Amino acid sequence: MADRQLFHQHDTTNTSPLYLGLDLSTQQLKLVVIDDDLRVLHEEAVNFDRDLPHYGTEGGVKLNGYQATAPTIMWVEALDLLLGKMKDSGFPSHRVAGISGCAQQHGTVYWKQGAEHVLAHLNPESLLHEQLRGIFSVESSPIWQDSSTSAECEELEVAMGGAQKLADITGSSAYERFSGSQLRKIAKARPEAFAQTERISLVSSFAASMLIGKYAPIDTADGSGMNLLDIHQKDWDDRLLNLCGADLRRKLGAVVKTDAVIGFIASYFVERYGFRKDCMVVAWSGDNPDSLASLNLRVGDSVVSMGTSDTLLLTLEKATPSTEGHVLCHPTRHDAYMAMIVYKNGSLTRERIRDTYAWSSWEKFNSLVENADVGCGDRFGFFFYVPEITPKAQGVFRFEHGQQVEEFSRPEINARAVLESQFLSMRLHARRVGYHDSASKRIIVTGGASQNDAIVRVLADVFGAVVMRSSLGGGSATLGAAYRARYGVKHASGWFGTFEQSLNAPGAPQLVTVAEGSLESYEKYSILLEEYERLERDVCRAGQF
């Protein structure tokens, strides 16, 4: 897919535009280059644990009990490392007409007083992390894996008149990882640091700020993951701002539509990496909204993204939030919304089972999955190694013939049990955010684990669905960002088609069927789902946190 040779032609006559999409996700910073026909020319990535080991992260994160953070400066260093790799590969950055990006959602970055001045005067002779070290008032950014703010969540819900009232405004009841409760916690626990903070960014708008050399606005889609934005008015809710910290309207800045052009690339990148001065930067968003943007979906399609987290995404024509799951502003349609359910125990939990029961090999894991029966012979597992979001519970619980057991009598069954459990949970909870549960629907899979055929076959069986993958591979959030970059530039240059129309180009991804679940499997799993739902209630009681 990525043809490095393209960058070695030194063809100065080729001036056709290129677009970049970046994704600052949990474990890595990724980049994709597309041309004006939407063809993917190149992909690159920096993995935090492997390429920046001096920060000592595991899976890009530092865990301390319920707290989960990432060193903000690590993300800064990653950006130069990535662009340095691109430069070394002969990448013609002078052809880049537009850049956009996305990031893991909910995490926050705290810029000290005076930081914007530093951003505006970056010296291309030294690296970003050398210049930005010390300008964050909180040096470890709380991220989406954090579950340390239960008290603040309760305070927010009580103050707003209940969980449903909060969801009616912001699209979600209070969630520990959402930025509002995280801000309230920092404002209370570290008042001096909070007072010294000039600007608060999401991870997405923080990365965009480096690119434009000034504070970048938060976009409506990623802003919907904060418990602070009124998703109907598409503006901050002042009552919530006041509850979460002083002077927040100023500290958060304005909110913009996700397709807004937010500025031109900063001179640092022009001088150090050869970008052209008029390269536009389009608002950055969340990685899940950009996964949705990367796919030309039909009405009724669902997306299952299996990155570090697992998520289920749907387009909604109307916002009817409940206390389960999330409703976000849609990234590419101003009149629509997206529903989202999120699981913390996604890829890392599958990896843990693979390492324990399948000799750390996906191949062996897959053969264990394929050799086990539907329903694992009346066995169910709940694998919440880290405190789970959906449902709110922690711990590992196994049931064999209705009885709770420490370990299955056939331990190798864990491989299929973890997948069945994850997908039964999605089917159960998806119904509550607007998914119409019936067989033969289309599910489009994205993210690292979507490349695994055995995993997607179980997904197809549990949902009785046609599971499809993009012909362009697994990392679709970067691609969504690149498509938005291209659309934003075209729009700013006077083209008034819709985002969906802009995807009508020769290199647009094709959806390829990778697994087909049958009506028979759908019905079998419908019966298992009733037992699963009952057990889940017990697990939630036993695994409270």
Ligand X SMILES: Nc1ncnc2c1ncn2[C@@H]1O[C@H](COP(=O)(O)OP(=O)(O)O)[C@@H](O)[C@H]1O
Tell me: does residue 105 bind ligand X (CB under 6 A): no
Quick one: which of 252, 231, 329, 331 has its CA closest to 285? 331
| Window 346-375: contact mask with ligand X (x via CB under 6 A) | -xx-xx----------x-------------
Alpha carbons 222 and 292: distance in angstroms, whole number: 13
Whether a cis peptide bond, with omega within 30° of 0, leads into 217 is no
Pick what 288 binds: ligand X, ligand 5SP, none; C-beta below 5 to 8 Å, kind-dependent.
ligand 5SP
The reply to whether 478 sits near ligand X by the rule CB under 6 A is no
* Single-letter amino acid code for the residue at 95: R
Take residue 417 and report the two structure tokens written for it: 């049990």
Q: Does 452 bind ligand X (CB under 6 A)?
A: yes
Is the distance from CB of 169 to CB of 230 less than 8 angstroms?
A: yes
Q: Which is nearer to ligand 5SP, 209 or 347 (CB)?
A: 347
Residues belonging to the chain: 545
- Stretch of residues binding ligand X (CB under 6 A), selected from 161-169, 313-321, 344-352, 392-400: 344-352
Given a contact cutoff of 8 angstroms between Cβ atoms, the answer to whether 204 and 286 are in contact is yes
CA–CA dist 496, 538 (Å, integer): 53
| Residue 451 within binding range of ligand X, rule CB under 6 A | yes
Buried/exposed 156-181: b ≥16 CB within 10 Å, e otherwise: bbeebeebeebbbbbbbbbbbbbbbb
Task: Considering the complex, state which of residue 60 and residue 517 has its C-beta at the smaller distance from ligand 5SP.
Answer: 60
What residues from 306 to 325 belong to the interface with ligand X (CB under 6 A)?
A: 307-308
106 binds, among ligand 5SP, ligand X, none (CB under 5 to 8 A by kind): ligand 5SP
Select 152 or 287, whichever has its Cβ closest to ligand 5SP. 287
Q: Write the DSSP string, 521-543.
A: HHHHHHHHHHHHHHHHHHHHHHT
Least Å from the CB of residue 27 to ligand X: 4
Q: Which residue is nearest to ligand X (CB)?
A: 448
Task: Give yes or no for residue 57 binding ligand X (CB under 6 A).
Answer: no
Q: Under rule CB under 6 A, which residues in 17-36 are in contact with ligand X?
A: 25-28
Residue 210's binding partner out of ligand 5SP, ligand X, none, with CB under 5 to 8 Å set by partner kind: none
The residues pairing with 342 across neighbouring beta strands, listed in sequence order, are: 311
Distance between CA atoms of residues 127 and 165, nearest Å: 46
Burial of 134: CB neighbours in 10 Å, binned 0-12, 13-18, 19+: exposed
| Options 166, 270, 292, 449; binder of ligand X; rule CB under 6 A | 449
Smallest separation (angstroms) from ligand X to the CB of 362 = 4
Which of 230, 116, 224 shows the shortest CA–CA distance to 179? Answer: 224
Q: How near is the Cβ of 5 to ligand 5SP at its closest, in Å? A: 30
Q: Is 149 in the site for ligand X (CB under 6 A)?
A: no
- In the complex, the smallest distance separating the C-beta of residue 255 from ligand X, rounded to whole angstroms, is 25
Q: Is 213 in the site for ligand X (CB under 6 A)?
A: no
User: Per CB under 6 A, does 197 bind ligand X?
Assistant: no
DSSP, residue by residue, 417-469 = HHHHHHHHHHHHHHGGGT----TT-EEEEESGGGG-HHHHHHHHHHHT-EEEE
Helix (H, G, I), strand (E, B) or coil at 493: coil
**To the nearest whole angstrom, how small is the minimum distance from the Cβ of residue 538 to ligand X?**
29
CA distances from 449 to 369, 445, 457 (A): 14, 9, 12
Residue 199's binding partner out of ligand 5SP, ligand X, none, with CB under 5 to 8 Å set by partner kind: none
Question: Out of ligand 5SP, ligand X, none, which partner does residue 105 contact, by CB within 5 to 8 A per kind?
Answer: ligand 5SP
- For tokens 């007072």, the residue is 195
Size of the site for ligand X (CB under 6 A): 18
- The residue (of 302 and 452) whose beta carbon lies closer to ligand X is 452
Q: How far is the CB of 327 from ligand 5SP (least distance, A)?
A: 12
Q: Which residues bind ligand 5SP (CB under 6 A)?
A: 25-26, 104-106, 144, 177, 225, 286-288, 307-309, 311, 342
Residue 35 CA to residue 22 CA, distance in Å, equals: 15
Q: Does 119 interact with ligand X (rule: CB under 6 A)?
A: no
Report in angstroms how near the CB of residue 308 gets to ligand 5SP at its nearest: 3
Q: Footprint of ligand X on this chain (CB under 6 A)?
A: 25-28, 307-308, 347-348, 350-351, 362, 447-449, 451-452, 455, 475
